Structure 1
Amino acid sequence: MVHMLNLGILAHVDAGKTSLTERLLHTVGVIDEVGSVDDGNTRTDFLALERQRGITIKSAVVSFAVDDLTVNLIDTPGHPDFIAEVERVLGVLDGVVLVVSAVEGVQAQTRVLMRTLQRLRIPTLIFVNKIDRRGARHEEILERISERLTPAIVPMGEPGELGTRAAYFAPHSADRLRPHLLDPLAGHDEELLAAYVEDGVSYERLRAALVEQTGRALVHPVFFGSAATGAGVTELIAGIRELLPAAEADTDGPLSGTVFKVERGAAGEKIAYARMFSGTLRTRDRIALRDGKEGKVTAISVFDQGEAVGEASVTAGRIGKLWGLGAIRIGDTIGEPRPSPAGGHHFAPPTLETVVSPGRPADRGALHAALTQLAEQDPLIGLRRDELRGEISVSLYGEVQKEVLQATLADEYGVDVLFRGTTPLCVERPLGTGASVEFNKKDPNPFLATVGLRVDPAPIGSGVEFRLEVELGSMPYAFFKAVEDTVRETLGQGLHGWQVTDCVVTMTHSGYSPRQSHAHQGFDKSMSSTGADFRGLTPLVLTAALRAAGSQVYEPMHRFRLEAPADTLGAVLPLLARQRAVPGTTRIQGSSCVLEGVLPVVRAHDLEQQLPGPTRGEGELECAFDHYAPVARGAVPDRPRTDLNPLDRKEYLLNLTRRVGW
């Protein structure tokens, strides 16, 4: 029986995960020569832009075999601007190799990734790369991993001749490994500890406990090595084979899979990457898609020995490339949904926004089409079209993503674009409770509908909840659905134009005019309520309730950690103040000072650019999104509206009349 393992390679940018992928493929015999990121000839960085920049932008799948285990290896981006690619992959993984640099150590993105892996309980091995580089460390790196990632680690051996091309990794013998195993394993197994105290524990039992607890993401074996020289890679492959759990594969069960990537083929056709969790999907099968649509699979490829090979079907446990599903999108379910924690967002959403415009006005339509297509491949590219101003805004994680988007539009779509300055993507939260109601057939309500809504604040992070205080049977369900859908759409732009979140909207009043007609005539919509009446009235009632409640604008904030020479502290503090950073703690560690605090997301790039000067190039800055904070009084930013502006009743009704032709 062939076993499957869907393995992710994750790391902070430049830790060497793409180089490790190349070395793994070479060691198991899939490729004859190890590709180089610098030379632009690696197997997984297949985009021209990836080869030019030397960074991974899109996740890529390759496969290899270890004995009876087939490994589908997914190489993911390390730069935080492309965290959305990692987001989509996490839900389809059986295990992960988290790469840490022996020189740079535990970096900001490494910490973000590890916290998420622990929360999702994905089995994880840690590979400390670059032991052949000058400045490589051993004990200090283990201490940093224990302090900043997790204390539940098991060093599987020791490196030697660090910082030289002769650097090697020597696995611990049974006697040397035993003491490293006992403490972390006994912390999760009281019987193991009791047996050790009473009679001692055999190495075989400790090893079995290591396999079991690694598979449950309770402990994390640590390997050292070098992707450049191959040191330690054979031992890592053995660890992948022994310690990470193979995929559960019920090929006869009900069909269930998840789409984690969508790309376009040479002819522009959609190609979906799907991990199958149960059942078997075959060519010519018809599958239900979202919004009541249906698709027919016209071709399937699966991964085998580094290549995608055409097959008639893809079975549970495998990853398949699917053709023919024109309406499919990332995150779609194939067959039955999985009752698992794989859904939902694992990382913070984009916190920046910029307006993009074509260099040539004639390219406006082509730009919108290109951005729409790119948004299919990356759902977190939030497009916001302002018809009045003829502008398109896109949401971003950072400046590098903006540069890549600009290059992609030029190279792949032939559209040269210009960007405005990047601005923070704020949110609004209600300050208190507000309510409003408009009744059917009572002025000034021009709609055949009664809608009453109350807005209440909700706990931070709870999102938007819609509730009913009226009987569900008091009017047709379609009208309630029209109100709820319109409430959620309207909350995309609050009193200041930002998305409103963390609130409960309750429908307090409802009413409608039943289907009527004049004598001997058909249905007359001028006498009878339709869904359009509820969709038209709801924004006016909701914004009135929100105005009564009041709202506060919040801007995204990073938590930062800055390490710099202690004698530069006097120059660093004014720089932080200019960037509106607020240090929370400052401590001296030998000749270095470490500052931790909060910083507006929009200022992080400037701080990173300006830091080398006052710190003599030795400052190290780590940033990660932490929370939203109220914008300072007197400086509340307004975002231009792109809706019909229900804040201005006269303008709204005029715009609505023009749109629907009333």
Structure 2
Amino acid sequence: MDIRPTDRPDRRTFAIISHPDAGKTTLTEKLLLFGGAIRAAGEVKARGAARRARSDWMKIEQQRGISVTSSVMTFERDGLTFNLLDTPGHEDFSEDTYRTLTAVDSAVMVIDAARGIEAQTRKLFEVCRMRSVPIITFVNKVDREGREPFALLDEIADQLALDVSPMNWPIGMGGQFEGLYDLEHDRLMRPAADNARGFEGDVEQLGGMDDAKLATLISSQGLALLREEAELAQAGYAPFDDTAYRHGDLTPVYFGSALKDFGVAELIDALARFAPSPRPQPADPAPISPDDANVTGFIFKVQANMNPMHRDRVAFMRLCSGKFRRGMKLNQMGTGKAIAVHSPILFFAREREVADEAFPGDIIGIPNHGTLRVGDTLTDGPPVTITGLPNFAPEILRRVALKDPTKTKQLRKALDDLAEEGIIQVFYPSIGGQWIVGVVGQLQLEVLISRLEVEYKVDAVLEPSPWDTARWISAATPEELKAFTDLHRGALAEDRDGAPVFMARDTWELGYVSDRNRAIRFSATKERN
């Protein structure tokens, strides 16, 4: 096959999705460890010293033990470059996760062996399905007491409407766990003999489950259980099919324990062998192919204050096509401005290094001072706009009140920064001076207050808002829109783009007003452009 210079079959850009507490952060660290990026979980393998490498780097993340923002980490293994995007597991940050999933070519879905499919897992899976993102499933914590493997596989198949293809099989669970059997390569992985019971690289190659050597490696009960269950699994579930996987119709399933290092290396190998290289991205007027010669990328995330010593702002760009070179100029669609990218960066959580070049599938950071926003398309070619990054209407609205009224300017700056990141939305009422912040979940409000205090030295409190919900409004003609806004000025606001927003006291009022104003469109989403 003729590979053009801009095409990069050596890239694997993927996200890890899960419900909170399924072990996503632990798995992330172990993937970095097995990928050679760190010496030990939590430490960066860097020049001269081990540095902290946890993907959870915000103060509130460390205090609460949860991820509240997406992180990007790049590592190399066996000639492949892996771009790992760790996403918030908590449902209150689903918008950040959704935007991150627009920037990946595949995903790893982590499921707790004791809990199975949980609500947030299902929501994130549906986002992947909407974008036809292929998924590899990792059933975590098999070294603890959990549900039967068949029950877990059947739940994945039934609730997510996916064919499942088990690639390995646990020999017992919890206290009865004796290891994993690799169904694809007929290999046995056993835990250490000491109390840690972790995986120490003890792999036995076998001639199949009928190999007499198996009886010397595991207990008679374990051997009988393995032969019975694995035979049923291979007969009852679909064999792995690459085409079905890439279309999002089948998921290969790996059982393992991120904490005890079981199944992690096999998961990386699966990503290397099965996960797609950079895929075409939806765009107007036509999809962007990774082998297009022009450089094209889009901003899916903006993060302020990653470096607390500087009030920096970094835009995360997914490169879709072309070979990017440091210092090149890219046109910002929508504004028509040419932006010279002098100091592009590659990420390892909060750590960073200058990138001299990048290729389709890579994630680079562009330091800027508010010029770039989520949804922006950058290109050195003809005008094009990457599509599919919407804003969602907030489900919680609050007023922000300052304890020190002299900090109004700092508050405005902070709210603009955080709205630019997508952490919150800000609305400016047509009547009244207090700004309204909107979020999807309650935890976002805690993050807001924490970051105002820590990063901006602004002491603020949240007060009840007279409104309960918000919708963007539009009409077929300016006259129809003006007639409505003139009549409902007391319930109108603008978002930070100046787009008109109708603020309703409750869902009943929203339904009542929309029924009486059929010429007006009330939208719960707004396409970013």
TM-score (norm 2): 0.73
Aligned to 2:108: 97
For 1:262, the equivalent position in structure 2 comes to 302
**Residue 519 (structure 1) aligns with:** none
- What fraction of aligned residue pairs are identical, expressed as a percent? 28
> Shift in Å at residue 132 of structure 1?
2.0
Identify unmatched segments of 5+ residues in structure 1. 186-205, 429-462, 469-482, 501-534, 544-550, 557-627, 633-662
Alignment counterpart, residue 41 of structure 2, candidates 23, 26, 34:
34
Measured after TM superposition, the shift of residue 396 of structure 1 is 1.2
Aligned-pair distance for 1:311?
2.7
Deviations 1:514-541 (CA, angstroms, capped at 9, x unpaired)? xxxxxxxxxxxxxxxxxxxxx9xxx9xx
What is the Cα deviation at residue 101 of structure 1?
0.9
Q: Give the equivalent residue in structure 2 for 1:22.
A: 29
- Aligned counterpart for 1:487 among listed residues 475, 481, 487: 481
| Residues 469 and 504, structure 2, Cα contact 8 Å, conserved in 1 | no
User: Does residue 336 of structure 2 align to residue 292 of structure 1?
Assistant: yes
Name which of 11, 14, 17 aligns with 1:7: 14
The match for 2:275 among 225, 241, 244 is: 244
Asked if the contact 1:299/1:323 (under 8 Å) is kept, the reply is yes
Structure 2: distance between partners of 1:494 and 1:19: 51
Worse-superposed segment, 263-272 or 293-302? 263-272
Identify if the C-alpha distance between structure 1 residues 381 and 11 changes in structure 2 by more than 3 Å, giving closer, same or farther. Answer: same
1:97-141 deviation digits (Å, cap 9, x = unpaired): 011111122111111111121121001111111222234542222
Partner Cα distance (1:152, 1:172) in 2: 17
| Paired residues of 2:397 and 2:437 also in contact (CA < 8 A) | yes
Verify: 1:385 aligned to 2:337, yes or no.
no
| Correspondent of 1:163 among 158, 162, 174 | 174
Distance 1:94 1:493, change over 3 A: farther
1:172 and 2:183 are equivalent in the alignment: yes
Q: Assess if the C-alpha contact under 8 Å between 1:297 and 1:324 holds in 2.
A: no
Residues 190-229 of structure 1: pairs in structure 2 closer than 5 A: 210-229=241-260
1:301 Cα offset (Å): 2.1
1:487 shift after superposition: 3.2
**Per-residue deviation, 1:235:** 1.8
Counterpart AA for 1:24: L
The question of 1:231 aligning with 2:256 is answered: no
Q: CA RMSD in A?
A: 3.8
1:361 to 398, 402, 405: 405
Give, in whole Å, the separation in 2 of the partners of 1:42 and 1:323: 21
Show the 5 A alignment for 1:525-540.
none
Counterparts in 2 of 1:23 and 1:331: CA distance versus 1, 3 Å:
same
Q: 1:134 to 1:283 in 2, by over 3 A?
A: same
SS in 1 for 2:22: coil
Q: Which has the larger Rg?
A: 1
Inter-CA distance 141–370: structure 2 relative to 1 (3 Å threshold): same
The structural deviation recorded for 1:384 is 1.7
In the alignment, what sits opposite 1:562? none
Q: Distance in 2 between matches of 1:236 and 1:13?
A: 20
Q: Does 1:497 align with 2:504?
A: no
Partner of 1:310: 354
User: Residue in 2 aligned with 1:401?
Assistant: 444
| Higher RCO (Cα < 8 Å, 6 or more apart) | 2
Provide closer, same or farther for how the CA distance between residues 218 and 184 of structure 1 changes in structure 2, counting only shifts above 3 A.
farther
Shift of 1:251: 5.8
8 Å contact kept, 2:98–2:127: no
Please give the alpha-carbon distance, in whole angstroms, between the structure 2 residues aligned to 1:349 and 1:18: 29
TM-score (norm 1): 0.59
Asked if the contact 1:257–1:337 (Cα under 8 Å) also holds between the matched residues in 2, the reply is no
- Whether the aligned pair in 1 keeps the contact of 2:424 and 2:444 (CA below 8 Å) is no
Deviation string for 1:420-469 (max 9, x for gaps)?
A: 247774357xxxxxxxxxxxxxxxxxxxxxxxxxxxxxxxxxx866446x
1:601 corresponds in structure 2 to none
Using the TM superposition, give the Cα deviation of residue 406 of structure 1 relative to its aligned residue in structure 2, in angstroms.
0.8
Output one character per residue of 1:378-400: Cα deviation in whole Å (capped at 9) or x when no partner: 1x622123475431110012221
Partner of 1:417: 460
Aligned to 1:547: none
CA distance in structure 1 between the partners assigned to 2:12 and 2:182 by the alignment: 24
